[in-house]
């Protein structure tokens, strides 16, 4: 059974403030109408908190590169949501890995996939 579904007390949503480089927990109730809840705000800077998912573990405050990595992932819609069974799936370890991760993880159109195949064939023909 899924870990988050089996708990009687609801987990609280993990949110991140990229300005302060801090993580906060926001009340989370699976039965609540999320649109009716007030927008979560950072208690420190009053900026909007980004919901990151129940599996989010914030990097240390002074690790600017890791916070930038998480910010870029969030900007592309990649968060840390799961049912609690196996985690949110693979994520890049370092900031330098983000570009390749996004290239592989984000859905591509049929045209982009075709261009990628043509590019790979052209490189193989040129190098081979």
* pLDDT tens digits, 66-106: 999 999 999 988 888 776 666 666 788 889 989 988 887 77
Domain membership flag for residue 1: no
pLDDT of residue 59: 95
Range of the domain at 81: 13-127
- Is the pLDDT score of 115 beyond 80? yes
pLDDT of residue 76: 87
Count of domains observed in the chain: 1
Domain membership flag for residue 7: no
Q: What is the pTM of this model?
A: 0.67
Question: What band does 30 get if pLDDT is binned at 50, 70 and 90?
Answer: low
Percent of the chain past pLDDT 70, that is, above it, reads 74
* Mean pLDDT, all residues of the chain: 80
Mean pLDDT, range 96-119, rounded to an integer: 82
Mean pLDDT, range 9-26, rounded to an integer: 85
pLDDT of residue 65: 95
DSSP characters for the chain?
A: --TTTT-SSPPPEEEEETTTTEEEEE---TTS-GGGSPPPB-TTT-PBPEE--TT--PPPTT-HHHHHHHHHHHHTT------SSS-S----SSGGGHHHHHHHHS---HHHHHHHHHHHHHHHHHH-
């Amino acid at each position: 059974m899924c870990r988050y579904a089996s708990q009687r007390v609801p987990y609280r949503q993990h949110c991140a403030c990229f300005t302060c480089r801090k993580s906060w927990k926001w009340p989370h109730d699976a039965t609540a109408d999320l649109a009716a809840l007030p927008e979560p705000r950072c208690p420190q800077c009053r900026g909007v908190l980004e919901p990151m998912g129940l599996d989010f573990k914030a990097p240390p405050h002074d690790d600017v590169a890791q916070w930038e990595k998480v910010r870029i992932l969030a900007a592309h819609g990649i968060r840390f949501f799961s049912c609690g069974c196996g985690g949110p799936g693979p994520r890049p370890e370092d900031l330098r890995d983000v570009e390749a991760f996004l290239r592989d993880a984000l859905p591509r159109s049929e045209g982009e996939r075709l261009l990628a195949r043509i590019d790979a064939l052209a490189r193989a023909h040129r190098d081979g």
